[in-house]
Structure 1
């Protein structure tokens, strides 16, 4: 029994990780990865860089395509009298998750593949990008979402307006608190997955992580949609909710619209705090 109290007191921190993993096995000491320095709050040099605007354009196009495919899928399901003849809720979830997987894969090397103001907000809180870039991304994402939903409405205006336009609302039988909670938890899952899939430590130690990063992100979107489509239609993306609400533009689409901004932003902030402070123990203000 000797030493038992010490083990209990110190717990898992008593013994340091000594087994080298990945590229650490090839090094003689120190970290096998390098933390990126925190992004500046404002970087005027970005405004003179073509890569800055190229990244914004990539976010616009990606969000446009995301809304186009996802809202069109929703319309195909809700306009049918028999859901058995459509892809159903599972198909809607696959459309959202599959498009995020494809679009993150396509744009990650250009803009980081955010395609979601909540993701951008979470990464900004973790100092992964500047405030300048974060605001620019959010504006371009919202514009892309509006255009994507607008194209869907252009196909069949009557069908679009008669079937809710893919706008997010809290479903009957659920309270606003239920909807807000669903959006907070759903966005937490998504943004936490983003942090985990792009973690510098994991990228260095597992060479397959950069290649597979879009897969868990898309799969997280798919699973959250399966769970929360019956509650809110699943927002977890303020740009997606805004684009559909603006193009549909009916009163009830705006009644609960605040939920689809507050919920995702709170969920993203909690995910950023949890991953950076609890999981990785990296200070928000400075890293060494």
Structure 2
């Protein structure tokens, strides 16, 4: 399939979500020349004939693969140590997840928007910053990447050791209820997706164009902070693809018993964050079309 310049425009820069998360989205100017981008359609037929559409999905696959590989391998290293003090501990796990998101969002932002998380793609879809076809394509590729990443971790750790260490699968930990776990996943994902919207807001960047903003930094830092808070509760999911990949490769009953929490919670949290940003922060439903 021959790449054309118009393909790149349709696939990468036509809607703001693919400019949103990385440095490619940094625009110059002031709030005086800012206008909200038009909502993305649910279906854009030209995407399906554009190489950039498929390239973006491949980028999401590779980014999620690397994310799960590094982060879950870090979890394995902590779990196999005789004590938390003999390893990087919870703080190290949190840094692995947050640091990888920072690096991978930075690397893939100009290609796919650097979502690396079905909840982020879902939130942007609700905000009409992403077409339905692209959102589904991203989520499928993110899940496949996570499965492959968890599979490579199991290959390194060997089956017996991998299973004895829990496989990095997300479960509600002892002492907490399923309601606790669901609430932690909702609030954690809300913080993450709210940060994504805030860090990539085109109006804010136009208004504060004199202040350089590297959007992947606050997004990665949000992931780090959420992990610090919720690792003791659920191991921290806030990313359905990461949870699915670990659960499929680990494949033990107790992991599947809680697995619904790591889809329902993040999707609710993402939906609430999208609504909060669009309705409260930006007040988009209350603006007339003539308002800049």
Indicate whether the TM-score tops 0.5: yes
**Is 1:235 matched with 2:237?**
yes
Q: CA contact under 8 A between 1:197 and 1:213: conserved in structure 2?
A: yes
How high is the TM-score relative to the length of structure 1? 0.88
Residues 60-107 of structure 1: CA deviation (Å, up to 9, x unaligned) = 000000000000000000011122121000000000000000000001
Residue in 2 that maps onto 1:279: 281
How high is the TM-score relative to the length of structure 2? 0.86
Instruction: Name which one, 1 or 2, has greater alpha-carbon Rg.
Output: 1
Give me the whole-angstrom Cα distance separating, in 1, the residues matched to 2:70 and 2:211: 27
Q: Deviation of residue 208 (structure 1)?
A: 6.6
Residue in 2 that maps onto 1:17: none
Q: Deviation of residue 215 (structure 1)?
A: 0.3
Residues 21-69 of structure 1: CA deviation (Å, up to 9, x unaligned) = x944xxxxx8331211100011111000000001000000000000000
Give me the whole-angstrom Cα distance separating, in 2, the residues matched to 1:186 and 1:31: 35
Residue in 2 that maps onto 1:140: 141
Residue in 1 that maps onto 2:56: 55
Structure 1 residues not aligned, in runs of 5+: 1-21, 25-29
Residue in 2 that maps onto 1:225: 227
Give me the whole-angstrom Cα distance separating, in 2, the residues matched to 1:200 and 1:209: 13
In the TM superposition, 1:121-160 aligns within 5 A as 121-157=122-158, 158-160=160-162
Q: CA contact under 8 A between 1:186 and 1:267: conserved in structure 2?
A: yes
Residue in 2 that maps onto 1:5: none
Give me the whole-angstrom Cα distance separating, in 1, the residues matched to 2:254 and 2:206: 48
Which shifted more, 208-217 or 43-52? 208-217
Structure 2 residues not aligned, in runs of 5+: 1-27
Residues 143-175 of structure 1: CA deviation (Å, up to 9, x unaligned) = 000000000000122221111000000001100
Give me the whole-angstrom Cα distance separating, in 1, the residues matched to 2:211 and 2:126: 23
- In structure 2, do the counterparts of structure 1 residues 211 and 246 end up closer, same or farther at CA, with 3 Å as the change threshold? same
Residue-pair matches, total:
262
> Which of 194, 207, 212 is 2:214 aligned to?
212
> Which of 247, 250, 258 is 1:248 aligned to?
250
Residue in 2 that maps onto 1:31: 32
- In structure 2, do the counterparts of structure 1 residues 224 and 106 end up closer, same or farther at CA, with 3 Å as the change threshold? same
